[in-house]
Amino acid sequence: MTVHWTDLMIILTGLFYIKCVTFVLLRGISSLPFTRHTMFRLSTRVLAARGYHLSLRSSCIRSCIGTSYHHSSSSGHTTQEDVLRIGKFVLGSLLAMGTSYYIFQYREPRLIPARLETGATTTIHATSGELEELSPAHLQRRGSDELSSAGGAGDITDVFGSSSFSTPTYGSPEDVQKAIEELRDALPGKNRVQTSPDSLRVHGSSDHSYHPSCPHSVVVMAYSTDDVVKVVNISRKYKVPIIALGGATSIEGHFTGFPSGSICLDLSAMNSILEINETDGDLRCQPGAKWEDINNTLKDRGIPLFFPLDPGPGATIGGMIGTGCSGTNAVRYGTAKAEWFLNITVVLPSGKVIKTRRRARKSSAGFDTTKLFIGAEGTLGIVTEATLRLAPRVPTKVAMAQFPDVEKAVSAVQQILNTPHGPHIQCVELLDDHMMAAINTAGLVDAPYPVQDTLFFKIQGSPESIRDTSNVVQEIVQRHGSTRFEFAATEEEAGEMWENRKYALFSTLATQPGSKVWTTDVCVPVSRLPQLVYETKEDLAKAGLKSTIVGHVGDGNFHALILFKDEEELRSVGEAVHRLVHRAIQMDGTCTGEHGVGVGKTEYLVEELGEDTVELMKTIKNAIDPLNLFNPGKLYPENNKDKMT
């Protein structure tokens, strides 16, 4: 059998159709991205007009291969008539593609990809990891026609007058493809630009989040501020959203991909400590540096300082700024919104690089632009460097006290914190009876803990202050019905006790092998915490859900870790979380004490903050990122209909 060059052309054209047909068969005609959809319809029509019936029912490849096979088998070579026929076929296809390309070029700014138009977009299923359809209420598109046409670098038009989001146009699948090609050119090197399905999925979803997720189109590894600028400029040129990623420990779907295509900017390799100024008590590092590595480095170098923000194991400075994190130390040192970040270097959506401050400990030169980026979840800028304020490392002692109930435990904490010894309390953590049982089950301790509501204390200071504070703590907890109070005997035991608290999530998972756990986080004025915990436990029990509770009780912040096995239980967990958040807001609290908003908590912002405050946030976002390219679909609620009642 001889294969003629024209056969190859038929096959190539046929492959294009096969791609379209597969798309349609898998996801329906409306799921075809706009250009391919239009090209497919147009070229089919053009071909039909020329006497070729290459529709969905008679797949092109079959007829093409059939034709070429027929000719080669019957006569051994292609006849003149065939060449003419094939020529018409190819010409027809090229004509159709050209027409649709022309239409696409000129009409694109007012069109949206068909996938978004129909509201059906592909996502990864929470429990099974399979693909599912997702409504746009979860992953929203925003901006305005005026804003989308504003386009270029720093090109901001009338944003202060129009404070709500409308609809910008994101790049088409072809634009995404062009952006990927340009990224490859701009960042040469092995694995700098990744498009393997595994990498896209892993970077776009989290084992800690059960909100709908979506893979990215491309993952890019950044090594410098310059790299980030290049990626941001390409993202803007092709209007492809860009999502920063650090340690990937955030919980509310913060770094999931965007349905029309997105660039995941992985900053985890930018993890160097650049400078330590021991005398000034500060440190300069890249955004991918992990808080634990920073503290280990300081310890290993014999520097008696540490960085007190302690969120999840593996979290990075960039992500911690992104979520406005805190952790167990917040009761003594406050949160990321205190002044632990002295200065940050940020790449803005315009591609400009700014520093928010100098290294001085304090400054009243204008308002605090550093704060603008803390808790902004990568929606306003990408942090590429940070100067951290450090605190003196102080000797600590760890103690544990058991209580008959949460109410007694919480009132003991309030009283302790209000004594003159309060500042010596570095951490107070509440673990409910279920959590204590989970730690025992996970086999993390040699001798099982009593299964009761328990407080873990870290008391800090000189040996005398620790002794005096411990006496006061012991006296107060006993007055509040504590049945048992004990110190860790050795430093090793103290370390273990604290580790157990940090690994609450993994202990909870161990109680029910094969289950998954949804972690949620709310915060209320401390005095309201017992009521909230009590009502929540009752509610979860009524819903037949198993859970553990851990709380940074000194701040009124607590996490419910709720287990589920299947879709039905997952739905029920989602409803319970909604009731819990609602309860917290009604107690003058917040939908998130430290994990941030991401995808999961956007619907509560208006209820919590009020419409005008949310409008102000949107106005700032519009001003800085008029094309809404930085982490779209996160943090900002779309409009009032998202407000839960």
Catalog residues that contact ligand FAD under the rule CB under 6 A. 208, 243-251, 254-255, 267, 287, 311-312, 315-316, 318-320, 322-323, 325-327, 377-378, 382-383, 505, 594-596, 631
Give me the least distance between CB of 324 and ligand FAD, in Å please: 8
Q: Which residue is nearest to ligand FAD (CB)?
A: 319
Residues 6+ apart with CB under 8 A from 334: 326, 340
Minimum CB–partner distance for residue 383 and ligand FAD (Å):
4
What percent of the residues of the chain are helix, what percent strand, and what percent coil, each to the nearest 5?
Answer: 45, 15, 40
> DSSP string of 322-387?
HHT---TTHHHH--TTSTTEEEEEEE-TTS-EEE---SSS---SSS-HHHHHTTSTTSS-EEEEEE
Give min distance, CB of 248 to ligand FAD, in A.
Answer: 5
Tell me the closest approach of the beta carbon of residue 378 to ligand FAD, in angstroms.
3
Between residues 14 and 241, which has the closer beta carbon with respect to ligand FAD? 241
Query: Minimum distance between the CB of residue 291 and ligand FAD, rounded to whole angstroms?
Result: 9
Q: CA-CA distance, 333 to 475, in Å (whole number)?
A: 25
Nearer to ligand FAD, 114 or 336 (CB): 336
Place of tokens 């093409």: 64
- Supply 543's token pair: 């819903």
SS3 string, 211-260, reads CCECCCCEEEECCCHHHHHHHHHHHHHHCCCEEEECCCCCCCCCCCCCCC
The closest of 619, 584, 623 to 604, measured between CA atoms, is 584
**β pairing state of 282-285 and 382-389:** antiparallel
| DSSP secondary structure letter of residue 450 | P
Residue 287 or 626: which CB sits closer to ligand FAD?
Answer: 287
DSSP-assigned letters across all residues of 144-179:
-HHHHHH-STT---STTT--S---PPPPPHHHHHHH
Tokens 């808790």 — which residue?
375
Alpha helices by DSSP H, 75-208: 80-107, 114-117, 145-150, 173-186, 197-204
C-beta closer to ligand FAD: residue 92 or 381: 381
Residue closer to ligand FAD by CB (options 325, 412) is: 325
Cβ distance to ligand FAD smaller for residue 92 or 318: 318
Q: Which is nearer to ligand FAD, 383 or 587 (CB)?
A: 383
Minimum Å distance from CB 124 to ligand FAD?
17
- In this complex, which beta carbon is closest to ligand FAD, that of residue 31 or of residue 387? 387
